[in-house]
Structure 1
Amino acid sequence: MIIGGPSSQLLGGRVAKILKEDLALCEYSSFPDGEAYTQVCSDFDDRVVVVCSTPSDRDIIQLLQILDVLRGRRIDLVVPYFGYARQDKQFAPGEPLSARAMAVAIDAFLAEGSRVYTINIHDRSILNNFRHVAEDLDAAPLLADEIGKMDLDDPVIISPDKGAVRMARAAAKRLGIDSDYLEKTRHSGTVVSMAPKEIDARGRDVVILDDMIATGGTMAQAISILRENGAKRVYLGSVHPVLTGSAVLKLCRAGVEAIIATDTLEKAVSTVSVAGLIAEALRS
């Protein structure tokens, strides 16, 4: 039985279709006071797969409600987008490690033999907070394959900073093309410039690749700079299209040619599905 969380209903359906398993009927609504209501309306076996991204506090609450319904059963829990993962360090006294808190809260509901899967989580060390077996799946090859299908002119894959270099290099290697990252240079207290570290992008199609697009501010700046420096067309690839507020408007105003993202979060730009990746992990 596959249960799709409130923000992963389409992805849950895709996983169920690939595995040829039943998809549970669930109800997600609210009480008059705004509290979340969750009901699994289908009968289920002892082994259940839950696919539930947690982009909001409400999604986390409803995931915990699902897990409470399934208490005592072996669960394969897939959290494609793991909320609060970026809060994995303390930068000031009194700050919580929210990523740890989320992992511990979820783990408390999991019975013996359960497993946890995430996809390109912010930092894999977060998985150490689970008592159960936890594995991070990599969707970057799926994005690379999608980029490979595009009609690009002398393409180069660029990461927006050093943090995403590994992903950019792996995708570029898979496609047999160049990769680089944007290096920031501070000229004064208020003036900062960015440019590719080594590669001249003039006259070339550029794909900026990162694990997540949130507000779009940094990406929009990178797109504008690359275009000003002579890049032919600039595309944006991301595993997790968070895209809060006016992020898409910022990116379009900056001149992005297209945004390519996976369906770990179900947005209009989520054209690459991770359902096959999840199904393969569950089979193995």
Structure 2
Amino acid sequence: MIIGGPSSQLLGGRIAAILKEDLALCEYSSFPDGEAYTQVCSDLDDRIVVVQSTPSDRDIIQLLQLLDVCRGRKIDLVIPYFGYARQDKQFKPGEPLSARAMAGAIDSFLAEGSRIFTINIHDRSVLNNFRHEATDLDATPLLSDEIKKMGLDDPVIISPDKGAVRMARAAAERLGVPYDYLEKTRHSGTEVSMAPKEIDAAGRDVVILDDMIATGGTMAQAISILKSKGAKRVYLGSVHPVLTGSAVLKLCRAGVESIIATDTLEKAVSTVTVAGLVAEAIRR
């Protein structure tokens, strides 16, 4: 049985269709005081797949509620976007390792033999906080295949910084095109410039690729710079379209041609589904 959490209902349905398994009927609502209410209305099978991204605190609460409903059963838990994964280090005394805290809370509901799957988690070391088998799946090939269909003119894949270049390299190698990263140069306390490290983007279609787009500020700056350097068209590719606040407006004002993202978070730009990737992992 597939249970799609409130933030992953469409993805849950797609996975159920591929696996030809029942999709549970669930009810998600709120009490008058704002507390989350969760009910799985279908009879539970012995083996269950729960699919729920956790972009907000409420989504984490509803995931824990679903896991409590399924307590005692073997669960394949799919967390396509794992919230709090970026809080995996302590910088000041008294700070929690929030990624560890979330993993511990989730772990406490899982029976022996359960498995956990994430997709392009911020840092795979976070998976070490789980006691159960945990696997991170890579959606980069799916984005690469979507980019290939776009018929781009002399394309180049760009990482927004050196730290994220691994993803750009993997996509570029799959597409057979060059890749580079944006290097920041500080000229003064307030002035910072950004440009490709080696490749000249003039006259070329550019795809900026990263694991997530959050506020859109850095990406908007990168788009503007690449356009000023003569890039023909600039696209964004992202596994997780967090897109908080006015992120889309910032990107459009900067001149982005389009945004390509997966349905780990279900937004208007989520045109690439990870359902097949997840279904294959569950089968294995």
Q: Which amino acid aligns with 2:178?
A: D
Taking the aligned partners of 1:89 and 1:200, their CA distance within structure 2 comes to 36
Q: Do structure 1's residue 17 and structure 2's residue 17 form an aligned pair?
A: yes
Taking the aligned partners of 2:50 and 2:162, their CA distance within structure 1 comes to 34
Taking the aligned partners of 1:257 and 1:121, their CA distance within structure 2 comes to 26
Residue 69 of structure 1 corresponds to 69
Taking the aligned partners of 1:149 and 1:164, their CA distance within structure 2 comes to 23
| 1:79-118 correspondence runs (5 A) | 79-118=79-118
Q: Do structure 1's residue 164 and structure 2's residue 141 form an aligned pair?
A: no
Taking the aligned partners of 2:228 and 2:252, their CA distance within structure 1 comes to 15
Q: Which amino acid aligns with 1:7?
A: S
Residue 5 of structure 1 corresponds to 5
What's the CA shift for 1:226? 0.2
Q: Which amino acid aligns with 1:274?
A: V
4+ residue segments displaced more than 3 Å: none
What's the CA shift for 1:207? 0.0
Residue 239 of structure 1 corresponds to 239
What's the CA shift for 1:95? 1.1
SS at match of 2:141: helix
Q: Percent identity?
A: 88
What's the CA shift for 1:151? 1.4
SS at match of 1:94: coil
Give the number of equivalent residue pairs. 284
SS at match of 1:105: helix
Residue 174 of structure 2 corresponds to 174
RMSD: 0.4
Residue 196 of structure 1 corresponds to 196
SS at match of 2:128: helix
Q: For each residue in 1:4-58, what CA deviation from the matched residue of structure 2 results, as whole angstroms up to 9, or x when unmatched?
A: 0000000000000000000000000001110000000000111000000001000
Q: Which amino acid aligns with 1:170?
A: A
Moved more, 90-99 or 18-27: 90-99
What's the CA shift for 1:229? 0.5
Q: Which amino acid aligns with 2:133?
A: V
Residue 44 of structure 2 corresponds to 44
Q: Which amino acid aligns with 1:122?
A: H
| 1:215-226 correspondence runs (5 A) | 215-226=215-226
Taking the aligned partners of 1:164 and 1:150, their CA distance within structure 2 comes to 23
Taking the aligned partners of 2:174 and 2:221, their CA distance within structure 1 comes to 27
SS at match of 1:118: strand
TM superposition score normalised by structure 2: 1.00
Q: Which amino acid aligns with 2:52?
A: C
Q: For each residue in 1:117-152, what CA deviation from the matched residue of structure 2 results, as whole angstroms up to 9, or x when unmatched?
A: 000000000000111000000000000000000010
Taking the aligned partners of 1:92 and 1:190, their CA distance within structure 2 comes to 26
What's the CA shift for 1:164? 1.2
